[in-house]
Structure 1
Amino acid sequence: MSGTTNGPGGETVVGRPGWEAVLVWVGFPVLGALLGLGVRPLADWVLDTSWVPDFAPFRFVAELPQPGGTIGTVAAGVVLGVVVALTAEGEVLRVGVGPSAVTLTRDGTSRTIARGDVTAVFADGKELVLVSRSGLELAREKSDLAPARLAAAFSEQGYPWRPDGDPHRDQYRRWVPDEPELPAGANAVLKARAGALEKGDQKDLAELRDEAAKLGVVVRDQDKRQYWRRAKIGG
Structure 2
Amino acid sequence: MAGRSGTRVGGGATDLVVMWGGFPLLGAGAGALLGSAAGWISDLPWVPLRGLFEALSRLPQPHVTIGAASVGVVAALLLAGAGTAERLTVTVDGQRAVLRRDGRDRDVSRHEVRAVLVDGRELVLLDTDGGELVRETSDLARDRLRSAFRAHGWPWAEEDPHRAAYRLWVAGLPGLPEGADALLRARERAVEKDRRDDVRELRRELGRIGVVVRDEGGRQYWRLTGRAVLPAAEPPPATRPEPDRR
**Residue correspondence of structure 1 range 150-165 to structure 2 within 5 A:** 150-163=145-158, 165=159
Match of 2:115 in 1: 120
Unaligned runs of 5+ in 2: 229-246
* Equivalent residue for 2:14, pick from 19, 30, 48: 19
Report what 1:222 is aligned to.
Answer: 216
Q: In structure 2, how many angstroms separate the alpha carbons of the residues matched to 1:52 and 1:193?
A: 37
Match in the other structure for 2:164: 170
RMSD over aligned CA atoms reads 2.0
Q: Secondary structure at the match of 1:166?
A: coil
Q: Distance in 1 between matches of 2:173 and 2:102?
A: 37
SS of corresponding position for 1:200: coil
- Which residue in the other structure is 2:179 paired with? 185
* Structure 1 residue 52 displacement after superposition: 7.3
For residues 1-235 of structure 1, the aligned pairs below 5 Å read: 5-9=1-5, 11-46=6-41, 55-163=50-158, 165-233=159-227
Contact 2:35 2:69 (C-alpha < 8 Å) held by counterparts: no
Report the alpha carbon displacement of residue 7 of structure 1 after superposing the two structures with TM.
Answer: 4.4
Taking a change above 3 Å as real, the CA distance of residues 30 and 215 of structure 1, as seen in their structure-2 partners, is same
Change (3 A) 1:212 1:61: same
TM-fit CA distance, 1:167: 0.7
Q: Which has the larger radius of gyration?
A: 2
Q: Deviations over 1:111-138 (max 9, x none)?
A: 1100111110001111110000111110
What amino acid is the match of 2:12? P
User: Structure 1: which 5+ residue stretches go unaligned?
Assistant: none
Query: 1:126 touches 1:143 (CA, 8 Å); kept in 2?
Result: yes
C-alpha distance in 2 between matches for 1:218 and 1:36: 46
Q: Which moved more, 1:72-81 or 1:61-70?
A: 61-70
Between 121-130 and 57-66, the greater mean CA deviation after superposition: 57-66
Opposite residue 189 of structure 2, the aligned amino acid is G
Cα distance in 1 between the residues matched to 2:201 and 2:44? 52
Compute the TM-score of the two structures, normalised by the length of structure 1: 0.89
The alignment of Structure 1 onto Structure 2 pairs a total of residues equal to: 227
The Cα of 1:201 is off from its aligned counterpart by: 2.0
Q: Percent identity?
A: 43
TM-score (norm 2): 0.85
Contact 1:39–1:61 (CA<8 Å) still a contact in 2? Answer: no
Contact 1:103 1:110 (C-alpha < 8 Å) held by counterparts? yes
SS of aligned partner of 2:37: helix
- Quick check: 2:125–2:133 contact (8 Å CA) kept in 1? yes
Do 1:24 and 1:85's aligned partners in 2 also have CA atoms closer than 8 Å? yes
Q: Does the CA contact (< 8 Å) of 1:46 and 1:52 recur in 2?
A: no
The change in CA–CA distance for 1:158 and 1:77 in structure 2 (over 3 A counts) is: same
Tell me the distance in 2 between the aligned counterparts of 1:130 and 1:50: 53
Q: Which residue identity does 1:72 align to in structure 2?
A: G
